[in-house]
Structure 1
Amino acid sequence: MAGILDGKAALVTGGGSGIGRATAIAMAREGARVAVSDLSKDGIEETVALVNAAGGQSIAIQGDVTDEAAVANMVARTVSAFGRIDCAFNNAGVAGRSVGPPGQRIHELTQPTVAKMFSVNLMGVFLCLKYEIAQMLKQGGGGAIVNTASIAGLIGLATSAHYVATKHGVVGLTKSAAVEYAQDGIRVNCVNPGYIKTPMTKETMDERYDEIMAKVPVRRLGVPEEIAEAVVWMCSDKASFMTGASHVVDGGYTAA
């Protein structure tokens, strides 16, 4: 039986670990050929090895989503390998403690810290959209793109203002792109994960697990594969009437 992405070519950023890796593997399982990009050369090579060992077809493209030339290269190399791009998952991002000291309120944040956060989480998504959409239009239109936002794109979180701002930005960028390219058959949605068990959240979970779990109705962390399943579905033709949406996968956090 054919998978729901059978015959499609996909690009995944932030694919060296966590949600990106799980999604690349899930896309390949559903029949897509997958280009995997990340800053981590070792990470993407491991992801590609996992995909190929399972019978999929994948290539590794090391690159930085904050570098426009690098993003253009990601898209060009994907097209060179697979002939086109049918779906993309713009997942590369950073958490607060990745760009500066954790737990800072707005008056304590420095401009370089905020600029780095915006560069990766928002400008990176913009650049990926720009080049992916241009390629989809060049192909004659049609395609599906999913951006990684967060529950932080829908609510406020204390001591995370710069992260929250970028994720609200991703939601807004997603909606605008969806409206602009609907007539071209290009669907653009975002996934809004809650607290997921990934390398990015490990330190936070080590420090605040009980506090955070008390706010999650299902009382557990999500796993990357649960986000991957949502992304794969949004990239498939089964989600053909879905565009401009924020798809929340958070164990009930934002409902509580």
Structure 2
Amino acid sequence: MRARAEDFDRIIGTNLRGVFLCIKHQAGAMLKAGHGGSIVNTSSIGGLVGAAQNSIYAASKFGLAGIIKCVALDYARDGIRVNAIAPGPTRSEMFDRWMPDEQSRGQMAAQMPMNYIADPDDMARSALFLLSDEARWTTGIVLPCDGGRSAA
């Protein structure tokens, strides 16, 4: 592994400790308000299938899946649902830096079972579903939003 310990601390601190703190305060506010609700976090498909040359990031997202499952059980009796979405490649400023030209984007899209790169709206729709009453019986999941990538 070529990663540095500083990279490990930064990525784990952001992707695990950051989520821990957000859930802790969100759930605390929900409990104080006296009613349940829904918390949706953002993970990554890299935390479901792994990622070459990206072990720390993938490990942080695998860890996030564990946090989601455990915290969902911790708060289920309080009526608080805790889930996450796991986006695959999605157009964004970060994606554009990673895939700066249309040729590389087209090659990536061709590798996806649904043959395109997602738009942010695709992720928003999945998150909105998990936040809605339509998902009232859903807690503790990491929903792949990856155009079929994790199924391949």
TM-score bracket relative to the smaller structure: over 0.9
Report the identity percentage: 38
| Residue of structure 2 aligned with 1:201, choices 95, 103, 110 | 95
Give the Å deviation of 1:225: 0.5
Cα distance per residue 1:62-110 (max 9 Å; x no partner): xxxxxxxxxxxxxxxxxxxxxxxxxxxxxxxxxxxxxxxxxxxx2x111
Asked if residue 244 in structure 1 is aligned to residue 140 in structure 2, the reply is yes
For 1:235, the equivalent position in structure 2 comes to 131
Q: Please, which runs of 5 or more residues in structure 1 have no aligned partner?
A: 1-105
Contact 2:110–2:116 (Cα < 8 Å) also in 1: no
Asked if residue 182 in structure 1 is aligned to residue 71 in structure 2, the reply is no
Q: Please, which runs of 5 or more residues in structure 2 have no aligned partner?
A: none
Cα RMSD after superposing both structures: 1.3
In structure 1, C-alpha distance between the alignment counterparts of 2:28 and 2:35, rounded to whole Å = 9
In structure 2, C-alpha distance between the alignment counterparts of 1:250 and 1:110, rounded to whole Å = 29
The runs of 4+ residues in structure 1 deviating greater than 2 Å are 206-215
In structure 2, C-alpha distance between the alignment counterparts of 1:211 and 1:110, rounded to whole Å = 30
Give the Å deviation of 1:210: 4.5
In structure 2, C-alpha distance between the alignment counterparts of 1:199 and 1:122, rounded to whole Å = 23
For 1:135, the equivalent position in structure 2 comes to 29
In structure 2, C-alpha distance between the alignment counterparts of 1:233 and 1:251, rounded to whole Å = 17
For 1:121, the equivalent position in structure 2 comes to 15
In structure 2, C-alpha distance between the alignment counterparts of 1:170 and 1:140, rounded to whole Å = 26
If each structure's helix is expressed as a fraction of its own residues, which one has the higher value? 2
Alignment of 1:145-224 (within 5 A): 145-206=39-100, 208-224=104-120
For 1:10, the equivalent position in structure 2 comes to none
User: Letter of the aligned partner of 1:123 in structure 2?
Assistant: R
Contact 2:47–2:59 (Cα < 8 Å) also in 1: yes
Bigger-Rg structure (1/2) = 1
In structure 2, C-alpha distance between the alignment counterparts of 1:168 and 1:243, rounded to whole Å = 17
In structure 1, C-alpha distance between the alignment counterparts of 2:95 and 2:45, rounded to whole Å = 14
SS of the aligned residue for 1:154 comes to: helix
In structure 2, C-alpha distance between the alignment counterparts of 1:175 and 1:204, rounded to whole Å = 30
Q: Could you state the TM-score of these two structures normalised by the residue count of structure 1?
A: 0.56
In structure 1, C-alpha distance between the alignment counterparts of 2:134 and 2:59, rounded to whole Å = 31
SS of the aligned residue for 1:189 comes to: strand
In structure 1, C-alpha distance between the alignment counterparts of 2:132 and 2:126, rounded to whole Å = 10
User: Letter of the aligned partner of 1:172 in structure 2?
Assistant: G
> Which has the higher relative contact order, 1 or 2, with Cα contacts under 8 A spaced 6 or more apart?
2
In structure 1, C-alpha distance between the alignment counterparts of 2:52 and 2:110, rounded to whole Å = 16
SS of the aligned residue for 2:111 comes to: coil
Q: Could you state the TM-score of these two structures normalised by the residue count of structure 2?
A: 0.93
In structure 1, C-alpha distance between the alignment counterparts of 2:84 and 2:111, rounded to whole Å = 23
